[in-house]
Amino acid sequence: MIGERELKTMKPTAILVNTARGPIINYSSLIKALENGWIAGAGIDGYDEEPLQPNHPITRFKNVVLSPHAGSATHETRTKMAKLVAENLTVFYKGKVPPTLVNKEVIKVRPPGFEKPTA
């Protein structure tokens, strides 16, 4: 999603921040943008390859902040995530499709619900 074309349209004072998935950024293009001053810097919390290798070219820039894909590690976010898991499990237990199910095609193979123990 973010490649050379997108980076060239940013202001030279822009800082690219990625807290989503790493592969949405073309890292070769980002490195080129940083080397050529197309943007001022970057803040990255998700990488194209995890864990990020210490010798990855992105690590050499002083105008780049790297975090270990832990941007969502706040008390508020983790509490919401736990509630969402509980809600999904409850709905699944009742034999219904969980509200945040990503791979919906699995329902064709395995319907929601837990097998009832036989006595």
Is 56 considered catalytic here? no
Selecting among 50, 60, 78, 87, the annotated active-site residue is 50
- Could you give the 3-state DSSP secondary structure of residue 64? strand
Is 50 considered catalytic here? yes
- Distance, in Å, from the CA atom of 97 to the CA atom of 107, rounded to the nearest integer, reads 8
Beta strands in the chain (DSSP E): 15-18, 41-44, 64-66
Selecting among 4, 6, 21, 56, the annotated active-site residue is 21
Selecting among 4, 6, 56, 69, the annotated active-site residue is 69
Contact, 7 vs 30, CB < 8 A? yes
Using the Cα atoms of residue 92, residue 95, residue 100 and residue 101 in order, give the sign of their dihedral: positive
Contact, 45 vs 18, CB < 8 A? yes
Any idea which residues carry the catalytic annotation? Answer: 21, 50, 69
